[in-house]
Structure 1
Amino acid sequence: MIKVKNLYHSYNNDDNYAVNDVNFEIKKGEIFGFLGPSGAGKSTTQNILVGLLQLQQGEVEVAGYDIKHIKNKMFNKIGMSFEQSNVYNKMSGIENLEFYRKLFDVETRDPMELIRLVGLDGKENVKAERYSKGMKHRLTFARSMINNPKMWFLDEPTTGLDPAIASNIKDIIKRENEKGVTIFLTTHNMYIADELCHRVAFIVDGKIRLIDSPKALKLKYGEKLVDVEYFKSGQLIKAHFSTVFEAEKERLIEVIKNYDIQTMHTKEATLEEIFIKVTGRGLV
């Protein structure tokens, strides 16, 4: 559904690339997570894929269409839900969906069905300007489904939502994927990526550092982390070490040799811990 080859993008038209030689493919029916901290290049890449940013350099194909020559028919096949809601404040929730459905040349879903799906029933006739940030986010999410997209772009779909509503959104994503919908998920939330994604790409400073499945990553790194508690200068220190990287192995050996060890055990790495180890960067 998506093919990206040698993708570059510079906002200043110089060698300072926000996206630097990015390559990946997404298969039909896959949930592909694009993971990284703020400013990593996630949104830039997504905006190129959906035609909001002009392709500068590289080859990009989305849902069978070459992004260099975007055709209106492509937008009948894709849905987009962005982190920053851009609904029409002077329209009610149901009016927003009724208006949006008229932009497509394909069969659309019943707006009231989508209102109920995201838990906004009872608020459908309230103007969006009176919606909370979370309600606007849900309306944006519902709107992205109205044209029954085959390729669905989701940017931080659970941001700002309480746990119960976030769980409902995740269930909706899973059900749509079971119907065969391909999903491109951009997030810095490693927990939602771990739960939903078939594969993930780690992107930092505009470059992809690794692409693999969460399961494969855990098999590779999960048994190779060690949590240690030890006393140093009368203080209890808690630390964890990777046994993959030589520098960390040497640090662990140094601690064992020189300090009073209280506890030591191996643990399965979280996706966030793996991200930090692989990229050397946190998610802030």
Structure 2
Amino acid sequence: MIKVKKLYHSYTKDENYAVKDISFEVKRGEIFGFLGPSGAGKSTTQKILIGLLELQKGQVNINGHDIKTPKDELFNIIGVSFEAPNVYKKLSGLENLNFYKKMFSVKTQDSMELLRMVGLEEAAHKKAGGYSKGMLQRLVFARSMINNPKIWFLDEPTAGLDPNTTSDIKKIIKKKNDEGTTIFLTTHNMYIAEELCDRVAFINEGEIELIDSPRNLKLKYGKKLIKVEYKEERKLKKESFSMIKDTDKEKLNGLINTGKIETMHSQEATLEEIFINVTGRGLK
């Protein structure tokens, strides 16, 4: 669906690269996460993929289209939700969507239904200039679905949203993916990536460090430990047991048989911990 080979980009047109020699493929129907801190090259890569930045060096193919010579057909099948809301402030939310849908030559979704999906139905006739940051974010997200995209580019889709709205946005993303939409998700939010993505790419200082599924990464970098909380003589105790050592396994089984255990968790690594392990820096 998306093929990128040896991609470079320099904003200064020299060897100071924001993106350097990156290659990856996104399979049809998967959610592919581009995970990295601010300034790592995530948004630069996405802007090249959607045609907002010139392809300077390398190859980019989107569903059979060479991004160097894009055709209208390509833009009819992609949707983009930008991190920075870019809407017409003097138009209402509904007017923004109705104006935008005229740009496509394919069947579009009902504007009011999209606003209803993201919780903006009551603000549909209010000028976007009076929207809060979170409302603007939801409006841009709704707009990105208007042409029923086959390939959906999402740049920090839950940034600045409250937990309830974030939950609703994640449900929409999962539903669209279940319907066959291929999703390219750029984020520094490890929890969103871990929950939604089939595979993730770690990008750091313009270079891809690794690509794999969250599960495989956690199995590779996680500790094979079980953390247990249990009561003994009316006191709460915490202990970690190796899943490899026979002595630890025997002791854990003994605790399980006594029925004293109150909580038990595997000590798998988070994507942020893995990112720090691989790159030596955090995701902020």
Same fold, judged at TM 0.5 (above): yes
Q: Are 1:8 and 1:56, in contact at CA under 8 Å, matched by a contact in 2? A: yes
Residue matched to 1:274: 274
- Identity between Structure 1 and Structure 2 (%): 69
Please list, as runs of the form range in 1=range in 2, the aligned pairs for 1:34-113 lying within 5 A after superposition: 34-113=34-113
Residue matched to 2:159: 159
Query: How far off is 1:223 after superposition?
Result: 1.9
Residue matched to 2:257: none
Residue matched to 2:15: 15
Please list, as runs of the form range in 1=range in 2, the aligned pairs for 1:20-31 lying within 5 A after superposition: 20-31=20-31
Query: How far off is 1:221 after superposition?
Result: 1.1
Deviations 1:1-20 (A, max 9, x none): 10000000011111111000
CA 1:50–1:148 in structure 2 vs 1: closer, same or farther (change >3 Å)?
same
| TM-score with structure 1 setting the length | 0.85
SS in 1 for 2:68: helix
SS in 2 for 1:22: strand
Aligned length: 247
Query: How far off is 1:224 after superposition?
Result: 5.6
Query: How far off is 1:218 after superposition?
Result: 0.7
Q: Are 1:63 and 1:77, in contact at CA under 8 Å, matched by a contact in 2? A: no
SS in 2 for 1:200: strand
| TM-score with structure 2 setting the length | 0.85
Q: Which amino acid in the other structure matches residue 136 of structure 1? A: L
SS in 1 for 2:223: helix
Residue matched to 2:148: 148
Query: How far off is 1:266 after superposition?
Result: 8.0
Residue matched to 1:246: none
Moved more, 67-76 or 199-208: 67-76
Q: Are 1:40 and 1:203, in contact at CA under 8 Å, matched by a contact in 2? A: yes
Q: Which amino acid in the other structure matches residue 118 of structure 1? A: V
Deviations 1:68-105 (A, max 9, x none): 11112110000000110001100000000000000000
Please list, as runs of the form range in 1=range in 2, the aligned pairs for 1:247-262 lying within 5 A after superposition: none
Mapped to 2, the partners of 1:53 and 1:4 lie a distance apart of: 15
Mapped to 2, the partners of 1:226 and 1:17 lie a distance apart of: 43
RMSD, aligned CA: 1.5
Query: How far off is 1:63 after superposition?
Result: 2.1
Residue matched to 1:6: 6
Residue matched to 1:208: 208
SS in 1 for 2:222: helix
SS in 1 for 2:17: coil
Query: How far off is 1:226 after superposition?
Result: 11
Q: Are 1:225 and 1:269, in contact at CA under 8 Å, matched by a contact in 2? A: no
SS in 2 for 1:6: strand
Query: How far off is 1:268 after superposition?
Result: 1.3
Mapped to 2, the partners of 1:225 and 1:82 lie a distance apart of: 40
Deviations 1:26-84 (A, max 9, x none): 01000000000011000000000000000000000012210111112110000000110
Residue matched to 2:185: 185
Deviating runs (4+, > 6 A) in structure 1? none
Mapped to 2, the partners of 1:124 and 1:98 lie a distance apart of: 11
Mapped to 2, the partners of 1:137 and 1:121 lie a distance apart of: 14
Residue matched to 1:198: 198
Q: Which runs of 5+ in 1 are unaligned?
A: 228-264
Mapped to 2, the partners of 1:226 and 1:201 lie a distance apart of: 28
